[in-house]
Amino acid sequence: MRNRVTVALLVLVAVSFMSMPHARAAEDDVQGARAAVGKFHEALNVLFTGDAGPIKAVWSHADDATYMGPVGGMQVGWAEIEPHWDMQAAKNLGGKVDATDMHVVASPSLAVAHYYEKGENVIDGKPQPVSIRTTTTLRKENGTWKVIGHHTDTLAYLQK
C-alpha cells in the first residue's frame, strides 16, 4: 500500500512539473501576441501619416492572409492586401487609433486578439471618431508573430 501511495505522489508531482512550463509558454505566447498587436497599431498610426512601410512589415505576406477593414470589402492574400495599404497610406488620414480592452487567446503558433480600436482620424481638417470592434489573427512565422487576419467594423466616413 505504501508503494502505491509513493508512486501516486510521484506521478502527481511529475504531472504538476510537466504542466508548469506549458502554462508559462502559454502566457509567453499571449504576451508575444499582445506585443505584436501593439506593433500593428504603432504601424497603423504611422500609416495615417502616409507611410505604409511599417504596416507591411508586421503583416504575413502569405496567400492565406485576409483583411476586412473599416473601408469594407475583403482582401485575400498578400497580393490583394498590399495595394490596399498603399491606398490607405495615400489618404493621409492623420490622427491616432489605439487598441483597448484586449482579450487574447494564443498557442505557440496561432493567436487571436479581440478588442476595440478607439481614437480618431482627421478628414478634411475635421476629427472623425473611431470606436470599432476588431479581431486580429496572428501566426508565428520564422519565430515572429505576423498578422494573418484583421477584421473590423466599417467606418462610414471611409466608405465614400
Alpha helix stretches (DSSP H) within the chain = 2-47, 53-58, 78-90
pLDDT digits (tens, 9 = 90+) for 12-48: 444 444 444 445 658 899 999 999 999 999 999 999 9
Percentage of the chain beyond pLDDT 70 is 84
Instruction: Give the pLDDT mean for 75-79.
Output: 98
Q: Which of 97, 120, 115, 103 is nearest to 152 (CA)?
A: 115
Q: Which three cell numbers stand for residue 11?
A: 506521478
Give the sheet arrangement for strand 66-68, strand by strand.
75-76, 66-68, 144-152, 126-141, 110-123, 96-106
Whole-structure pTM value: 0.83
Model confidence band, residue 160 (pLDDT cutoffs 50, 70, 90): low
Alpha-carbon distance 78 to 137, whole Å? 15
Counting other chains too, the contacts that 155-160 makes at CB distance below 8 Å and 24 or more residues apart are 155/70, 155/71, 155/121, 155/128, 155/130, 157/121, 157/123, 157/128, 158/70, 158/71, 158/72, 158/121, 159/71, 159/72
Model confidence band, residue 1 (pLDDT cutoffs 50, 70, 90): low
pLDDT digits (tens, 9 = 90+) for 45-69: 999 999 999 999 999 999 999 999 9
Domains of the chain: 22-158 (3.10.450.50)
